[in-house]
């Protein structure tokens, strides 16, 4: 069984994710092999909140060039987590927005 800290890699701090905080939606980069149930359990364990819904998306890495050398950024998986109405907010994001 995976540790919750192995499932959640890092939060996503962008303008779009800040706008989602008003609707109690938080965005995280998660392990590529994690499913929605594992993500939900990890968020509830780490932050002590109640999760209503989890949406995931896989973002393919872009091709990048530096001179004549080509490479590819890594492919990542993102999870947008929606909390229930009676759940507390995630304190980590409080000071950011």
In a domain, 17, yes or no: yes
CATH number at residue 27: 3.30.70.330
In a domain, 26, yes or no: yes
| Confidence at residue 94, expressed as pLDDT on a 0 to 100 scale | 73
In a domain, 23, yes or no: yes
In a domain, 95, yes or no: no
CA distance 27 to 97: 13
In a domain, 96, yes or no: no
| Confidence at residue 91, expressed as pLDDT on a 0 to 100 scale | 81
E strand spans, 7-94:
8-11, 25-30, 51-59, 63-66, 69-72, 76-83
Count of structural domains within the chain: 1
| Confidence at residue 1, expressed as pLDDT on a 0 to 100 scale | 63
Domain that holds residue 41: 4-84
Residue 90: pLDDT over 90: no
Q: Copy the structure tokens of residue 21.
A: 């905080």
Q: Which residues of 33-51 are buried (b: 16+ CB within 10 A; e: fewer)?
A: ebeeebbbbbbbebbebeb
In a domain, 91, yes or no: no
Instruction: Give per-residue pLDDT as tens, 30-75.
Output: 999 999 999 999 999 999 999 999 999 999 999 999 999 999 999 9
| Confidence at residue 44, expressed as pLDDT on a 0 to 100 scale | 94
In a domain, 34, yes or no: yes
CA dihedral of residues 93, 8, 45, 89 (deg, nearest 10): 20
pTM passes above 0.85: yes
């Amino acid at each position: 069984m995976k540790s919750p800290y192995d499932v959640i890699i890092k939060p996503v701090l962008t303008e779009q994710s800040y706008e989602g905080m008003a609707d109690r939606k938080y965005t995280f980069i998660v392990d590529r092999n994690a499913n929605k149930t594992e993500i939900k359990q990890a968020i509830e364990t780490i932050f002590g909140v109640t999760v209503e819904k989890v949406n995931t998306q896989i973002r393919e890495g872009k091709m990048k060039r530096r001179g004549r050398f080509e490479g590819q950024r890594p492919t990542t998986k993102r999870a947008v987590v929606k909390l229930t109405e009676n759940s507390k907010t995630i304190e980590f994001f409080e000071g950011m927005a």
